[in-house]
Amino acid sequence: MGLTIFTYLAVAIVVVLAFSVRGRGVSLALYRAAALASAAYAVLLASGYTLAAYNWEVATVLIRGAGVGAITAYLAFLRLGAAYPSARLVPVVDLLLVAAVVAVGWFMVGTDVYVVVVARVGVTYTRNDGSLHAILGAAGAGIGLVGAVVMAARSIGVKNRVHRQHLLVMAAGLGGSVAWGYVFAILGPSLGLGILYPLSAANILPSVLAAAYVFSSTRAFQPWSVARNLGYWLIVTVAFGVPLGLIVGVAFLFRESAAISVVVFAGLVFVVFARWAEAFARGRLGISRDEASREELESAIAHLDLSAGREVALAELDGIMKAALGCSWFSAISEDDEGSLVRVYPDDGTLVSPSSSPVMEALAAVEQRVVLRPDLETDERLAGYRAALTAFFDALGAEAIVLAKEGRRVVGIFAFGHKVSGAGYDALDYAMFDAVHGKLFVVAYYARHVARESLLATVEQELGLADQIIRSVQERIDPIQYPGVSVAYRCEAPRGLGGDLFDSVRISEHRWFFVVGDVSGKGLNASMSMIILKSMIRTLLREEKDFVRLVARANDFIKDNLPRGTFFAGLFGFLALDKGSVYFINCGLPAMFFRSPGLDSVIEAQGEGRMLGFVKRVEPYLKAKKLVLPPGSRVLISTDGIVEAESVRGERYGKERLMRVFTENKSSDAAETVDAVIRSATSFAGGKLDDDITVVVIDYDGQTREKQR
């Protein structure tokens, strides 16, 4: 019974895979037909085996139907392999295949030439084969083998490396399914392996899993990397999983009544030793070294000397990328003042694509941050822009590009030539590009907003260059301009560089998104992280409609892409000015105060939340709050630079003083209140603040556009 349950689980997996893979066209339809026929075969076989102990007549019909399902699945795989990747309908051929399946189905199910009768007593399964059982079984397996051979043979003549690998993967999966099914389903009962007969239906997994990988993968892999990963799982399974399974099995034999204790014991053993087994395998097989290489590349880019000038910095980046990826050449492309793309390294000023080009629309629309040349043919998400992007790749002669985008606006592009080794860019290279995307974005922003060598001569210090970038970034906001609403803010860093952030984005006529916060760290590193985070939040805002998920994805980005140990204490908000409300999620921001005309005092309205960047899954800790804004109300938001300012005696400024200044300036406008807060904190700290500060004041008097009309 346990083996039959395993088969039904395999069916569930296959059905999910049949409808979860992305794609379109005849190839996808053929894959789904093959997967569903495989699932039908497995269900009929497992059900026939189960019912053989109770109703041999029904069981016999089901077993016969299972044979038809297997042949149908193999025919669908053969048809898929013969035409992949650009399969097209061939009406005559497809109708003949359908007719053949119907005829064979009637012949196998309606007569006893395939199976005469099946029966089961306990776990002993017997099958009385018909006169043509061996021939029909061999024919079905032969169709599957022919399909595998066709796939393998076609891979030789396919130029696209990804499609070549896809065909080989499907050939291997289909060949494995045929061998597995033939041994257990056709030969098993006659060889005395009837007890293992239910396992024969699980042969659907290799072929369907292989095809699912093909339709889910858009880039090539390195065979040695796949072998290494398989070896990793083999080590974990053999050296750890098998012994643990034996221990649990023996424990069940001798202490069946103590099942709960055995399970708890197994869980404790897993917790104690599983991580060790994983680390052992990863270290021995070099997987950890791949991660270390990515971290080394991130570190090298982060330590580029931007003060040396654009040409020198990009030349240094050129050497770093060539050493890490083995590319033949590297090129940096930047947006100019007219919105066109120009090459800034190595041929400074060469026009690559005018702002009116279809390429610009395509680059702005694609969601991917990294695009490899094979993706143009294999990634269905790029189908609508394939012609424009292919022309762009051809014009550059590039094999890979990394896009630095701020929303839909392309700030810069990094292009890479073919590899010196002659190999193509694959999944490992893609992971490398993706890991350093954030750092490359900073370099792209630098190339776009910092002047050329002739102008850089007027700037002598690295801080001056970086400050120019930071100010440019901070000034790129959508100002909150609305009747009856006044918003003022100051975002300052005492060292000229800092990680404090304020940004607002217009969502609709009446609504704005805003974020206020502080990225951990000081100086250049914090400012670089702030640039990256601001750009990514804007990108996420375009993709994510759920408020809590937006913040959770920002947390994922901080934890996965920014330097280790980076965290963000801030507040995310939506201003619904037509409704007189603000929705917000506080993620560790120390001060958010609210004053209403109906209240004689200021109240703290921070809400609940957790700093971003500490935990992997922060979503359970995030709670969106709503604050109603009556006419005449005011909100003040401040980062810790104000609250934690210290006097010469070591005393903190604190929330109480901030509240008092807020209350005392109730008659001042928003800008005057912001100035008053900063003057008070600066005076308290002896004339100079040591930390980055951001103060935001929002005044709402209740007027709307409709009222003014």
Task: Encode pLDDT of 294-314 as tens digits.
Answer: 778 877 887 777 666 678 888
Question: Which CATH number among 2.40.100.10, 3.60.40.10, 3.40.50.720, 2.60.40.10 corresponds to the domain 479-708?
Answer: 3.60.40.10
Backbone dihedral angles phi then psi of residue 198, each to the nearest 5 degrees: -60, -25
Looking at residue 464, its pLDDT comes to 47
Tokens for 620, please give them.
Answer: 């359970």
Q: Which of 435, 694, 416 is nearest to 562 (CA)?
A: 435
d(C-alpha 423, C-alpha 399), whole Å = 11
Beta bridge partners of 604: 593
- Put simply, whether the predicted model's pTM sits higher than 0.85 gets the answer no
User: From CA 333, how far away is CA 136, in angstroms rounded?
Assistant: 62
Identify the residue whose tokens are 């963000």.
568
pLDDT over 90, % of the chain:
21
DSSP line for 107-175: HHHHSSSSEEEEEEETTEEEEEE-TTHHHHHHHHHHHHHHHHHHHHHHHHH---HHHHHHHHHHHHHHH
Provide the residue type at 610 as one letter. Answer: R
In the chain, what are the domain boundaries?
A: 2-217, 228-285, 292-449, 479-708
pLDDT attached to residue 333: 92
Element (H, E) at 19: helix 2-20
Q: What angle do CA 560, 564, 567 make, to 5 degrees?
A: 80
pLDDT at 331 (0 to 100): 93
SS (H, E, C) 305-323: CHHHCHHHHHHHHHHHHHH
Give burial (CB, 10 Å; 0-12/13-18/19+) of 436. buried
Burial of 331 (0-12, 13-18, 19+ CB in 10 A): buried
Do 292-449 and 479-708 fold alike per CATH? no
Angle at 293 between CA 289 and CA 295, to 5 degrees: 115
Which of 662, 658, 688 has its CA nearest to residue 673? 662
pLDDT of residue 76: 92
- How far apart (Å, rounded) are the C-alpha atoms in residues 583 and 585? 7
In the predicted model, residues of the chain with pLDDT beneath 50 are 1-2, 256, 285-288, 451-466, 705-709
CA 588/CA 592 separation, integer angstroms: 11
According to CATH, the topology of domain 292-449 is Beta-Lactamase (3.30.450)
Question: In the prediction, which pLDDT does 456 show?
Answer: 38
pLDDT of res. 24 = 63
- Under 8 Å between Cβ of 113 and 136: yes
Q: Which residues contact 13 (CB under 8 A, 6 or more apart)?
A: 205, 208
Phi, psi (deg, nearest 5) at residue 402 = -120, 125
Q: Which pLDDT score, from 0 to 100, does residue 1 have?
A: 46
Q: What is the pLDDT of residue 224?
A: 57
Q: Please state whether the peptide bond connecting residue 483 to the residue before it is cis, i.e. omega within 30 degrees of 0.
A: no
